[in-house]
Chains A and B, each alone.
Chain A
Amino acid sequence: MARIELSGIQKRWGAAWGVRDVNIDIADEEFVVFLGPSGCGKTTTMRMIAGLEDPTEGDVRMDGQLMNDIDARDRDVAMVFQGYALYPNMTVYENIRFPLRMRGVPKEQHDDMVRRAAAMAELSDYLDRKPAALSGGQRQRAALARAIVREPQVFLMDEPLSNLDAKLRQAMRVQIKHIQRELKITTVYVTHDQIEAMTLADRIVIMQSGLIQQIGTPDEIYNNPANTFVAGFIGAPPMNLISGSLSGGTFTAEGVSVSGLRTDLSGRVTLGIRPEDCSLSETDAHLTGLVYGVEPTGDITYLTMKTGDKLFEVKAGRDFRAALDTPMSVAFDPDRICLFDFETGERLG
């Protein structure tokens, strides 16, 4: 129900940087996920969208209207806070109802709305409790229920599922996606969990040290990382990055030799290849090394190899087993190889 534009956003506290330069145009009804290491400015960006923090520089617009001077209470957003921020003196029921009271929703609708939100968050049995008498996961669900109880212009969710067990997290993820699709509410979502990001997002925003590294659909981010940071951040295990030199279309590094690459470039480069785009092979080997570790997980087996002093990850078949220090050869899928500038880490071509 609202388009959000952030242009040239900066946030400083004295000499401390929260956000250095953020530009993004979030479409109406879009689900955008912010992903990045701790301290990269995700919460700060979100708080500026909510109006809880004034940007030092730059503009926040909603539906084209400049919001910089509009108070948080007059921006129709609902937020799940990283620290839950439940009102300690109120029961869960009253907590969930609070936004309805403040926003002037007619009284007779409150009970239905509160109970529906609580049911979605699987909290129906805890409505009479005070937050202090809830577990961490229950508190988090109460915070989520308080946000989804009404239909705001924008949902802001700061790691809303971080404290739940895997099963509940999966269930809530589906719930959140469903609610968002059904109500068609623009949503900005912060997480550390890549699976969450991949499954929920229309677009993912990767941030680092207050800067956006890449914005793209989950597929774009995964298949075409814009730089080595994104490549090394996304995926579990992340993309293998090997630094070496390129000349005449052939990349070489210790234990690695890949030919048939582009010939218009030469010099120091970083080659990236995802663990699942490698296969164990006796012929056409691009990389040779010794088995360093084997980790069966059930459906696949993670193989770690050592070439020179570098480690290299390969996703092998579920039945793959090998003794340590066995020599192995690996072939790369030539279509999946990414090349990055050695100095800047930017994707080449």
Chain B
Amino acid sequence: MASVRRSRGESHFTRYLILGAWAFFCLAPVLWFLSIGLRPRVEIITPQPIYWPTFSLDAWHMIWEDWPMAKYLRNSVLAIIGSVLIDLVLAIPAAYSLSRYQYRGRDDIGFYILSTRMMAPAIVAIPIFFLFRNFGLLDTIWALMLIYAAINLSVVTWIIRSYMLDIPKELEDAARTDGASDLRILWEIIIPAILPGIITASVIAMIFAINEFLFTLLIASTPNAYTMSVALANFTGGSDGVIYNAIALVAFLAFLPVFLVVVAIQKHLSRGLTMGAVKG
């Protein structure tokens, strides 16, 4: 007995060792970033290795005081939240239709929605630029919301659809015989039942949106519509050269909220990702 228990303990230990090593491997760049962000600029560009780094909030003060980081942050948050809301409003009914109704071309429509994801973004960059210019939306967060929503719509629809496919049809039949209208069924039966899927899809959309760079750069030309990801690019040019510690700090700040959300909902997230992949 004792030996059995010990060997199980050892295998646990080995398992944690491997997992710990893997976690360190994945998180090391993040910690590296944080350490760069919290050190003075000169120290980062010295060619000699430094064994005992100096702590400094230079970059912290710089991004908030010399740069309108609060505004960028606000733009990011508003554009992302807005885009996720747009996605949900469009994707939930679309997913419902794709998962529930039989009609000609349903699967083609489903695939078409997904295929928008397969296209290289650069192909549509120029037309989109002119489109938004004609609507007078250039350099606004409204444009960012629309763009992010468009980019993520397919993924959000697809994930929510896969959750809806899991709901037994009998549940809706029951609600219908109980006298519920389609809208009631969607609102009172379906949406509560797929809430984990909706949260998962939203988080995934947020992750894509916060990292979006190309279209944001295209649309945003002033701090009016700059987001965190584009703000990073501001630290690379100009007379000051590349400001590594500010870049690192902003990157870390952009990473942190997503990381925390993902940790909080990781159980649902892995299900959402694999389901989207397998069932889609």
Contacts and interface: CB of A to CB of B under 8 A. Distances in A.
A87 B171 contact: yes
A326 interface: no
A102 B171 contact: no
Contact of A73 (B179, B188, B193, B195): B179
A103 interface: yes
Contact of A52 (B177, B184, B189, B195): B177
Contacts of A73: 176-181
Contacts of A109: none
A79 B177 CA distance: 7
A81 B184 contact: no
16 contacts: A50-B177, A52-B176, A72-B173, A73-B176, A73-B178, A81-B170, A81-B173, A81-B174, A85-B171, A87-B174, A87-B189, A87-B193, A89-B193, A98-B175, A98-B180, A103-B178
Interface in A39-72: 47, 50-52, 71-72
A89 B192 contact: yes
A88 B178 contact: no
A77 B173 CA distance: 12
A329 B170 CA distance: 54
Interface in B140-187: 168, 170-171, 173-181, 184
A37 interface: no
A237 interface: no
A187 B192 CA distance: 32
Interface string B1-22: 0000000000000000000000
Interface of B: 168, 170-171, 173-181, 184, 188-189, 192-193, 195
A99 B192 contact: no
A206 B195 CA distance: 44
B175 A87 contact: yes
Contacts of A102: 175, 178-180, 184
Contacts of A188: none
Contacts of A50: 173, 177
A78 B177 CA distance: 6
Contacts of B180: 73, 98, 102
Interface of A: 47, 50-52, 71-73, 75, 77-79, 81, 83, 85-90, 98-99, 102-103, 146, 156
A146 B178 contact: yes
B177 A77 contact: yes
B148 to A, nearest CB: 30
A98 B177 CA distance: 11
B193 A98 contact: no
Contacts of B170: 81, 83, 85
Most buried by A among B168, B171, B175, B176: B176
Pick the most buried of A75, A78, A85, A90: most chain B CB atoms within 10 A of its CB: A85
A13 to B, nearest CB: 11
A265 B195 CA distance: 70
Contacts of A83: 168, 170
A79 B175 CA distance: 10
Contacts of A47: 173
The 6 lowest CB-CB distance pairs between A and B, nearest first, are A102-B179, A89-B192, A85-B174, A99-B178, A85-B170, A72-B176
B168 A85 contact: yes
A113 B179 CA distance: 17
A72 B179 CA distance: 8
B173 to A, nearest CB: 5
Given A72-B177, A102-B179, A103-B178, 18 more contacts: A50-B173, A52-B173, A71-B176, A73-B176, A73-B178, A73-B181, A79-B174, A79-B177, A81-B174, A83-B168, A85-B174, A86-B174, A87-B171, A87-B174, A87-B188, A90-B192, A99-B178, A102-B184
A50 B188 CA distance: 21
A120 to B, nearest CB: 18
Task: Pick from A81, A103, A146 the residue with the most CB of B within 10 Å.
Answer: A81
Nearest to A53: B173
A238 B237 CA distance: 92
Nearest to B176: A72
A87 B189 CA distance: 7
Nearest to A87: B189
A80 to B, nearest CB: 9
Contacts of A71: 176
B109 to A, nearest CB: 22
Nearest to A143: B174
A256 B245 CA distance: 103
A204 B167 CA distance: 34
Nearest to A146: B178
Nearest to B180: A102
A99 B179 contact: yes
Contacts of A87: 171, 174-175, 188-189, 193
B17 to A, nearest CB: 37
Contacts of B184: 102
Contacts of B178: 73, 78, 98-99, 102-103, 146
A116 B179 CA distance: 21
A77 B180 CA distance: 13
Nearest to A79: B177
